[in-house]
Amino acid sequence: MTGSIHLQSWLWMAWVIFTLLLGPAQRGFAAILFTDNFDGHSNWSPPQPEGDTLMCVPGGNCSTPVPVGYNDYRIAAMESCSIRDGNHNTLNINGNYPRGGTGKSLQFWSEPCYSSSGSWGSDGLLGVTFAPQAEVYVRYWMKFPPNWIWDTTSGSSPMQKFLHISHNDPSLNAELWDFHDGTQNKPRFVPQFAKYGGGTYRIQFDLPFSPLTAARDNSASNNYDYYFGPSPFDWTSAGGPGDGQWHCYEYYVKLNSSGGTPNGFFRNWYDGHLIADETNIVWVPNGDNPANWKWNHVWLGGNNSNQYVLQSTNEQWYAVDDFVIYTPMSPSDPACNGQCTADGRLPLNYVIGGGQPSDTTAPGAPTRVRIR
């Protein structure tokens, strides 16, 4: 792979001004908002802090700067399990696990313990801002090693987050990562893996979402679960997310057209196959204008609830590569190369910077199974 970040600042500012003048249902043209295959970055690995969470915000005095083109990052403090091992920082950009065998990728290292607060641990987030959008696609490729371990303790429900899409208010830097009450990061969509039943259930997409509410709280938050395919399709099945291969994850979120109107939705695809399609979502309530709450921020990564049994190592990794944020494409757009889907998605073989990798062929389509 060649090339790196294709986000030109003057285009970005022009797009911001243009989209702020548009209502949520108006979209004049398609746009690639952000791309990164990580190859153009210097190796990057901010140290995991001791005692407190490390939060690097725009304009902050951070010992390890935010990677070029990104907005912020956050890393949880070391816990007892990371102090015992400590071989890897949580966030890393390097050439250890690139898609296609050359170049670089972004890696997250997780640890087998909760945070000091007694809940989710191993938090690591790398954030990017983009021009506000009423609808947006987020796509990247992700790889988990075949020896990834899930917690099998009776009664546990191990989960791993890996993405946040939200409306983020940049004037609230002190609350950049507020995911609870208030208005910061509302609305928000947070896909994650779930291996319920002490790891005995088949792998599922757990899809939490938090609309903005009139009460400015989490009262409308909900989540839906989808199996990746019919039994016995599971984590390490051929074509499963834990088979040691690269797989494509894509998400689409669209605001409701006016406050309180139930016509917003989200969708997600796995290797190009539709897994979830949720409609009638009220992302923005009556009394608020969706034009003021557009999607404008994505975090890669997230924390987990996975107290797995230690084996040969205390830490385990997953990698992300070929990351792109865009609005629905028109068939004539050059990025489509005549292959975009009817709903405006880029073709599965879309490659950032050209030079198609060797492992872009997707496995056979799983049959989606929905549970609610």
Where does the pLDDT of residue 50 fall: very low under 50, low under 70, confident under 90, or very high at 90 and above?
confident
Average of pLDDT values for 302-324?
Answer: 82
Residues 323, 71, 125, 223: is their CA dihedral positive or negative? negative
**Mean pLDDT confidence for 275-283:** 97
Residue 149 pLDDT > 60, yes or no? yes
E strand intervals along 97-162: 105-110, 124-133, 135-143, 159-161
Structural tokens at position 44:
């990057």
| Residue 44 CA to its chain's centroid (Å) | 19
Q: Provide the CATH number for the domain formed by 9-371 in this structure.
A: 2.60.120.200
Beta-bridge partners for 192: 161, 206
Is residue 148 pLDDT above 80, yes or no?
A: yes
Report residue 304: phi and psi, to 5°.
-145, 165
The strand pairing partners of 94, in sequence order, are: 105
Q: How confident is the model at residue 117 (pLDDT cuts 50, 70, 90)?
A: low
Return the percentage of the chain with pLDDT > 90, whole number: 60
* Inter-residue contact 39 to 10 (CB < 8 Å): no
116 or 339, higher pLDDT: 339
| Per-residue model confidence (pLDDT) at position 237 | 97
pLDDT exceeds 80 at position 295: yes
In whole angstroms, what is the distance from residue 340 CA to residue 250 CA?
A: 14
Tell me how far CA of residue 98 lies from CA of 197, 318, 328, 348, in angstroms. 33, 11, 27, 18
Residue 316, pLDDT score: 87
| Statement: residue 85 has pLDDT above 70 | no
Q: Which of 207, 192, 206, 194 is nearest to 253 (CA)?
A: 207
Cis, bond preceding 187 (omega within 30 deg of 0): yes
What's residue 122's pLDDT? 73
Q: How far apart are CA 23 and CA 20, in angstroms?
A: 8
Tell me which of 187 and 120 has the higher pLDDT: 187
Mean pLDDT, rounded, for 203-212: 96
**pLDDT for 87 beyond 80:** no
Say which residue, 97 or 354, is predicted with more confidence.
Answer: 97
pLDDT of residue 222: 95
**Average of per-residue pLDDT values in the chain:** 84
* 8 Å CB contact between 208 and 268: no
- How many CB atoms sit inside 10 A of residue 367's CB? 10
Tokens 């690269």 sit at which residue?
Answer: 246
Q: Which residues of 131-168 are buried (b: 16+ CB within 10 A; e: fewer)?
A: bbbbbbbbbbbbbbeeebbbbeeeebbbbbbbbbbbbb
Confidence of residue 36 (pLDDT cuts 50, 70, 90): very high
- Average pLDDT for residues 245-254, to the nearest whole number? 98
Nearest to 325 by CA among 58, 132, 176: 132
Tell me, what's the pLDDT at 156? 84
Work out the average pLDDT over 319-345.
Answer: 94
- What's the rounded Cα separation, in Å, for the pair 17 and 29? 14
Q: Which of 97-101, 170-174, 291-295 has the lowest mean pLDDT?
A: 170-174
| The predicted structure's pLDDT at residue 313 | 62
